Amino acid sequence: MSNTDQTLANLLQEDRRFDPPAELAAHANLTAEAYDRAAADREGFWAAQAERITWAEPFTQVLDWSDPPFAKWYVGGKLNAAYNCVDRHVEAGRGDKVAIHFVGEPVGDTRSITYAELQDLVSQAANALTDLGVAAGDRVAIYMPMIPEAVVTMLACARIGAPHTVVFGGFSSDALASRLEDCQAKVVVTADGGYRRGAASALKPAVDEARTKAETLGHTVEKVLVVRRTGQEVEWDDSVDVWWHDAVDGASTQHTPEAFDAEHPLYVMYTSGTTGKPKGILHTTGGYLVGCSYTHWAVFDLKDDDVYWCTADIGWVTGHSYIVYGPLANGVTQVLYEGTPDSPERGRWWDIIEQHGVTIFYTAPTAIRSFMKQGREIPDARDLSSLRLLGSVGEPINPEAYVWYRHVIGGDRTPVVDTWWQTETGSIMISPLPGVTAGKPGSAMIPIPGVAAEVVDEEGKPVPNGSGGYLVLTEPWPSMLRTIWGDDERFKETYWSRFAKQGYYFAGDGAKKDSDGDLWVLGRVDDVMNVSGHRLSTTEIESALVSHPKVAEAAVVGAKDEDTGQAVCAFVILREEAGDGGDDIVAELRKHVRKEIGPIATPRQIMIVPELPKTRSGKIMRRLLRDVAENREVGDVTTLADSSVMDLISSGLSGGKGDE
């Protein structure tokens, strides 16, 4: 057996299936015929999806792929993204529809904004940015809390053709400075601070520091526009700093949106590379907007009366595509929440769902697992019956977390769509369709209509059903990244060189095809372990651990082993109701993995820990866990969301319990 086949021999068995609710299937936005329609004429299909958008000038060619991997979509078309997200809904008589139900973290701090009001706000901000000297093509950095002004600023930038780069508010001044320098941002929009975990946390000081650091890198930021959110004291430099309420509140609400080329840059989103400096992923206007609008409508089966909530931060691509551009292009009513799930207490998210009658809810597996850990009494105490569809994004969702999500949050009524995509893909690529697909817990299923994906071997040949390999996208798609900002070579090298002969896009994930041909994303190929010549997926073993009733969350890494090359080491967080798990917990869990997957996957070590090291976007940092597992000094922790976590883990371990 080859290595890839052996991965397969160790498959978790998952037999549960969840059919689409009959009522949903009967009125679904997309039905099964869309797969064939799209496959028969992919470009024709994407031409039809482009009709969701209002074009100032029609395109003359759907796709120009004459110079791969540099794509041009909707060639010759002109449009304004902000007009599409705001004005056209007002013109269509829907100005009184609520666009955003803003919920601040302090209880009672709410504000609802209609599309007509949003149009005024975006126009004012566009006029103010223009007055500050921002012109089409200039870059604007946004470093803000999750408040309506953040959305307004993104749309105002789009309206005047100034690409934005949103930097997550949890990032340090160093991270901000390097991004300001890399994209040569002319203006920064920020706030004095925002509310997180029950307190006002500052943002403006980091901008001041970043501006000084950017200066030493040879880049000067001209203006800083500051929203007063918390009323904190701020340092002020009159030559640079401008209050939002001075510049925007008094600006005219009249602003004529200019039409830009379909390939005009819309934004740059930085994402971490495996090494060195972050990559500025460039998305352009027409194809990106079509991709976001279409997928948001199809995958969430969006209806006019839905109340939608995506819990991502606008500092990540999920916030760009599924809070701002997709939902607003579709004229949705949505919730925007500033704070953390546990402030002022653990039921906050469920309170928000109950209060606003949220019907579609989109969040990440890391959040779901933390709710599993806390126990179901908390959501059970709220009325969540408005929910009709649940989504997951960001990492593989373990089958057990999927079932818990569907059962406890969705009351067994709601389909769960496990959506696979990346910052680079711009919009959802692989997902169930809620009115078509019988869902399998843990599988993202198949590419959505219009998207072509494969699982291939080392040589780029499709693997048969029942095998694993590299996940590739085999055809260009409208919302694809166009390049890495300022670095076409790195773009080619990073994404298009591995399968250059075939012309496939590969961005680092491994996947397997089950016996039905459905896809199971296994996570980054760098995370795959090799134990005695068997390729084992970290995700799979983690899912086996999470399927044990006492386990809330697990992270698995391969550690060097004299006998087997690598050995499986697991870090496990127990559910609160399980207490300390009992004296035999480690033996019990090892036995469980052996039963679920097989002896080859049995962890050599299991460590019970209070927390796991995660990046600010919730991804487990396995590199640090490998350091622990291999008894090394723990490496660079600067990208951790909470840098004290590694201390917690180490101190917990020296307490004794865990190792076998």
Binding footprint of ligand WT7 on the chain (CB under 6 A): 271, 317-318, 393-396, 418-423, 444, 507-509, 521, 523-524, 617
- Are 157 and 320 contacting, i.e. CB atoms less than 8 angstroms apart? no
Which CB, 208 or 509, lies closer to ligand WT7? Answer: 509
Single-letter amino acid, residue 477: W
Q: Is the distance from CB of 147 to CB of 119 less than 8 angstroms?
A: no
Taking the complex as a whole, how short is the minimal distance between the CB of residue 141 and ligand WT7, in angstroms? 19
Which of 352, 462, 376, 480 is closest to 426 using CA atoms? Answer: 480
Work out how close the CB of 150 gets to ligand WT7 at its nearest, in angstroms, rounded to a whole number: 18
CB of 153 to ligand WT7, least distance (A): 21
Nearer to ligand WT7 among residue 6 and residue 423 (C-beta): 423
In the bound state with ligand WT7, the residue whose beta carbon lies nearer, of 124 and 425, is 425
In sequence order, which residues have a C-beta less than 8 Å from that of residue 596 and are 6 or more positions away? 12, 13, 544, 547
Nearer Cβ to ligand WT7, position 429 or 572? Answer: 429
Contact 229, 105 (CB under 8 A): no
Q: In whole angstroms, how close is the CB of 394 to ligand WT7 at the nearest point?
A: 5
The candidate with the shortest Cα–Cα distance to 450, out of 471, 475, 432, is 475
In three-state secondary structure terms, 627 is helix
- Residue number with CB closer to ligand WT7 (120 or 518): 518
| Nearest Cα residue to 80 out of 319, 262, 267 | 262
**Closer CB to ligand WT7, 509 or 596, in the complex:** 509
| Shortest separation between residue 587's beta carbon and ligand WT7, angstroms | 31
Q: How far is the CB of 527 from ligand WT7 (least distance, A)?
A: 9
- Whole-angstrom distance, CA of residue 327 vs CA of residue 294: 10
Closer CB to ligand WT7, 59 or 294, in the complex: 294
Residue reference for tokens 């400075």:
177
CB of residue 428 to ligand WT7, shortest distance in Å: 8
At closest approach, how far in Å is the CB of 301 from ligand WT7?
A: 18
Q: Of 359, 364, 259, 276, whose CA–CA distance to 317 is shortest?
A: 364
CB of 507 to ligand WT7, least distance (A): 6
351, 377 contact by CB (below 8 A): no
Q: Judging by beta carbons within 10 Å of its beta carbon (0-12, 13-18, 19+), is residue 504 exposed, middle or buried?
A: buried
Q: Are 476 and 458 in contact (CB under 8 A)?
A: no
Instruction: Name the token pair of 271.
Output: 């994402």
Using the minimum distance from each CB to ligand WT7, give the nearer residue, 115 or 371. Answer: 371
Q: 3-state class of 248 per DSSP?
A: coil
- Which residues, including other chains, have CB under 8 Å from residue 127's CB and lie 6 or more apart? 251, 252, 255
- CB closest to ligand WT7, residue no: 423
Distance separating alpha carbons of residues 318 and 44, to the nearest angstrom: 27
**The 3-state secondary structure of 549-566, one letter per residue:** CCEEEEEEEEEEECCCEE
Residue with smaller CB distance to ligand WT7, 478 or 581: 478
Q: Which of 468, 553, 593 minimizes the C-alpha distance to 12?
A: 593
User: Sign of the CA dihedral 647, 652, 653, 654?
Assistant: positive
Question: Residue 540: how many CB atoms within 10 A of its CB?
Answer: 26
Q: How far is the CB of 26 from ligand WT7 (least distance, A)?
A: 27
Q: Which is nearer to ligand WT7, 162 or 519 (CB)?
A: 519
Q: Least distance in Å: CB of 444 to ligand WT7? A: 5
* Residue 5 Cβ vs ligand WT7, minimum distance, rounded to whole Å: 22
| Beta carbon nearer to ligand WT7, 293 or 318 | 318
Which residue's CB is nearer to ligand WT7, number 121 or number 557?
A: 557
